[in-house]
Amino acid sequence: MIKTAIIEDSQALTSVYKTFLKDSEFDVSVFSSTLSDINRLVRENYFKLIVCPCFPKFQTGSQIAQTIKSDPKLFNAVFVVCTSMKQENVKSEWELRDIDAILLKPFDQQRLIQTLVKAYHSRPHLDRKMPIALVIDDSKAVRNTLSSYLEELNFDVKTAGDGMQGLNLASEYHPDLILVDVEMPVMDGFEFCRNLSKDPEIKHIPAIVVSGTIDEVQFRKGFKAGAIDFLEKPVSQHALAAIVESVAIREKTSSSGTTVILTQDNTLCAILRKTLNFLNSSIQVCSTLDELETCLCVSIPDIIILDLSDKEDKLNICMHVRENLKSDSPVIIAIADETDTDIMFQCFRYGATEFIIKPFGRDEVKARIENHIKLKKLQDELVQKNRILESLAYKDKLTGLMNRRYFDKALKDQISKAETNGTSLSFLMIDLDNFKLINDQYGHDIGDMVLKEIAAIIIDNVSSNAIPCRYGGEEFCIIYPETSLVEAIKNSEKIKRFCSGKTISAHKIHQTISGGISSYPETSRPETLVADADVCLYKAKASGKNKIIANLEAI
């Protein structure tokens, strides 16, 4: 089963997801887009696939992706964004690098499952503890020998006796490497490679042809069929290890993303397709700018190639495409004639990443694209590291709640929103009762366990739009945007009740909490929200603890 998180604020759409994915290979858990629910998703951190609306209610898409992907265990989770073509472009809400696929609304059950299956299985290696190799040969002895060599190289090996069986296994297992014999019954090695190249789900898998005789004719047939290299029989373990290492290096410099080409030149298109084979990416060709714009509304390409040769408004096309993307992430390569060299630097200023003049050598284009891919990978790694650093800066390591530093920023932002929009803003300050006795009697390890359990209760029971934080020590707090005092008291009492009813550790500790509530504009001014809640907390402590008190007299 594929552990799947559905982020959705609409109960109607939540029911649709649950109904459509019932009895499927997707094990679904549902979360809202609130900060507390997203933190709960991160705390569970075993999800492989995440579906999120393009425009969540309580946070932006980029905020949700940042929170989730800052956790190293979730960084490789597949992100599917659900949107409608009638809505604003997804790029205004999301960083392009965060999206793996787009689910267009309205959708039926079949299209939902097809989209999720394709998105997940496009990166099957994420779930593997070791790479898979597929050996296809009609000789059992050869299969056994190659299998033993590959197992020494830490591959999980699957075998097939003919090309047809090999295609079926390739579709089932999505191996990382295929070794295929040339001469076989049913389907020979070259025909296998041609059929492999036709299937978009498995065409990216590197296929190595194994043959007793390798000459120029074999080379031409093999490369034309889609093979990436050759091994001559009898195969030595050293030769196999060298070619596996070579394939691994190619894979490190390649991409499994998408490339979009804007051109009406069929010859150029064919040359580019051959040149871009090393990318292992899907290639889509658009003949008009309108067609390209439609494509960009529903897919997130890694590379865009613009053939400007026959275009009059060359610079504006570069600028228009970059503005339509609303991101610097995709590589935009402009191709033009020798007569257009004077606009090269202007193209860079108008949004192009690279400029190539016709006629060009395939090796030159390949080298330039490889450099941009390496740079993009470095940028993605930097983004990931920055996300982790930001997460560490704003998240409390022990409890998983947002920390005091985040609280100070969030409270300031929410006060500004409340004043601007004329809405209510409530605030709860929480303190654990007699917590010092827990540390003294049972030790700090048990004390930490109590803090984590109370934090978990807060996360699981806080109202949908609330922002729970660890204030410091044994103090927690909750910001309630657009929430009246009465509503905040109701939710706070619920949390208090669950805390006192929870048995913690083998010592069966019942940890109670006390709280003080303030609310703007009902009981407090914006600048006194925290101080007023603190006064109410002191009263709750002084009057017997395990209480939530608000300054109702101020109303």
Q: 327 with 426, same domain?
A: no
Asked if the structure places residue 393 within a domain, the reply is no
- The residues facing 262 across adjacent strands are 286, 306
Q: Which of 478, 463, 482, 489 is nearest to 550 (CA)?
A: 489
For the segment 189-199, the average pLDDT, to the nearest whole number, is: 88
Position 58 scores a pLDDT of 83
Position 256 scores a pLDDT of 47
Asked if the structure places residue 102 within a domain, the reply is yes
Distances (CA, A) of 104 to 16, 101, 281, 535: 14, 10, 22, 51
Asked if the structure places residue 152 within a domain, the reply is yes
Q: What percent of the chain has pLDDT over 90?
A: 37
Asked if the structure places residue 392 within a domain, the reply is no
The CA-based dihedral angle spanning residues 17, 22, 25, 29, taken in that order and rounded to the nearest 10 degrees: 50
Task: Select the highest-mean-pLDDT range: 236-250, 358-372, 471-485.
Answer: 471-485
Position 384 scores a pLDDT of 67
Q: Which of residues 214 and 531 earns the better pLDDT score?
A: 531
Position 250 scores a pLDDT of 47
Q: Which of residues 433 and 218 earns the better pLDDT score?
A: 433
For the segment 94-121, the average pLDDT, to the nearest whole number, is: 84
Pick from 193, 221, 252: which residue ends a domain?
Answer: 252
For the segment 80-106, the average pLDDT, to the nearest whole number, is: 75
Assess contact for 353 and 372: CB atoms under 8 A.
yes
Residue 307, class by beta-carbon neighbours within 10 Å (0-12 exposed, 13-18 middle, 19+ buried)? buried
Q: Is the pLDDT of residue 467 over 50?
A: yes
What is the H or E stretch that residue 481 is in? strand 475-481
Q: Is the pLDDT of residue 373 over 50?
A: yes
Position 311 scores a pLDDT of 78
For the segment 540-553, the average pLDDT, to the nearest whole number, is: 89
Asked if the structure places residue 396 within a domain, the reply is no
In one-letter notation, the amino acid at residue 160 is: A
In one-letter notation, the amino acid at residue 82 is: C
Q: 218 with 277, same domain?
A: no
For the segment 211-236, the average pLDDT, to the nearest whole number, is: 78
Q: 422 with 549, same domain?
A: yes
Q: Domain containing 267 — which CATH number?
A: 3.40.50.2300
Q: List the domain range (segments joined by +) for residue 550.
A: 404-554
Position 89 scores a pLDDT of 61
For the segment 410-421, the average pLDDT, to the nearest whole number, is: 93
Q: Which of 536, 511, 501 is nearest to 435 (CA)?
A: 511
Q: 532 with 422, same domain?
A: yes
In angstroms, rounded to a whole number, what is the distance separating the alpha carbons of residues 285 and 262? 6
Q: Domain containing 540 — which CATH number?
A: 3.30.70.270
Which is the catalytic residue, given 8, 93, 354, 474? Answer: 474
Asked if the structure places residue 390 within a domain, the reply is no
pLDDT, tens only, 312-324? 788 888 888 888 7
Three-state DSSP class for 308? coil
For the segment 473-485, the average pLDDT, to the nearest whole number, is: 95
pLDDT, tens only, 20-65? 999 898 999 999 998 888 888 988 878 989 999 988 888 888 889 8
For the segment 170-192, the average pLDDT, to the nearest whole number, is: 89
Task: Select the highest-mean-pLDDT range: 222-236, 243-257, 423-437.
Answer: 423-437
Q: Which of residues 134 and 231 earns the better pLDDT score?
A: 134
Assess contact for 160 and 139: CB atoms under 8 A.
no
Pick from 198, 222, 252: which residue ends a domain?
Answer: 252
Q: 37 with 91, same domain?
A: yes
Q: Is the pLDDT of residue 106 over 80?
A: yes
Q: 236 with 135, same domain?
A: yes
Angle at which helices 237-252 and 140-152 pack, to 10 degrees? 60
DSSP string, 245-281: HHHHHHHHT---SEEEEE-S-HHHHHHHHHHGGGGT-
Q: 410 with 510, same domain?
A: yes
Q: 413 with 362, same domain?
A: no
Residue listed under structure tokens 């009895």: 23
Summary mean pLDDT of the chain: 85
Domain count, the chain: 4
Q: Give residue 415's pLDDT band: very low, low, confident or very high (50, 70, 90).
A: very high
Position 197 scores a pLDDT of 82
In angstroms, rounded to a whole number, what is the distance separating the alpha carbons of residues 381 and 172? 31
The backbone torsions φ and ψ at residue 470, rounded to the nearest 5 degrees and listed phi first, read: -90, 120
Q: Which of residues 372 and 196 earns the better pLDDT score?
A: 196
Pick from 252, 281, 313: which residue ends a domain?
Answer: 252
Position 246 scores a pLDDT of 62
Q: 223 with 81, same domain?
A: no
Assess contact for 119 and 82: CB atoms under 8 A.
no
For the segment 514-540, the average pLDDT, to the nearest whole number, is: 95
Assess contact for 174 and 149: CB atoms under 8 A.
no
Does residue 474 have an active-site annotation?
yes
Q: 149 with 93, same domain?
A: no
Q: 420 with 505, same domain?
A: yes
Asked if the structure places residue 514 within a domain, the reply is yes
Position 358 scores a pLDDT of 84
Asked if the structure places residue 236 within a domain, the reply is yes
Position 433 scores a pLDDT of 95
Q: 15 with 111, same domain?
A: yes
Count how many Cα atoms sit within 13 Å of the Cα of residue 237 in the half-sphere of its side chain.
Answer: 9
| Strand pairing category for 207-211 and 467-472 | unpaired
pLDDT, tens only, 4-30? 999 998 888 999 999 999 989 899 999
Position 91 scores a pLDDT of 66
What is the H or E stretch that residue 283 is in? strand 282-286
Position 462 scores a pLDDT of 87
Across 141-156, b (16+ Cβ under 10 Å) vs e yields ebbebbbebbeebebe
What are the CB-based long-range contacts (under 8 Å, 24+) for 280-283? 280/203, 280/204, 280/251, 280/254, 280/255, 280/256, 281/204, 281/255, 281/256, 281/257, 282/200, 282/257, 282/258, 283/258, 283/259
For the segment 414-438, the average pLDDT, to the nearest whole number, is: 95
Residue 309 neighbours by CB under 8 Å, 6+ apart = 265, 268, 335, 336, 337, 340, 358
Position 453 scores a pLDDT of 93
The count of residues in the chain is: 555
What are the CB-based long-range contacts (under 8 Å, 24+) for 363-369? 365/272, 365/275, 366/275, 366/278, 368/333, 369/276, 369/279, 369/303, 369/331, 369/333
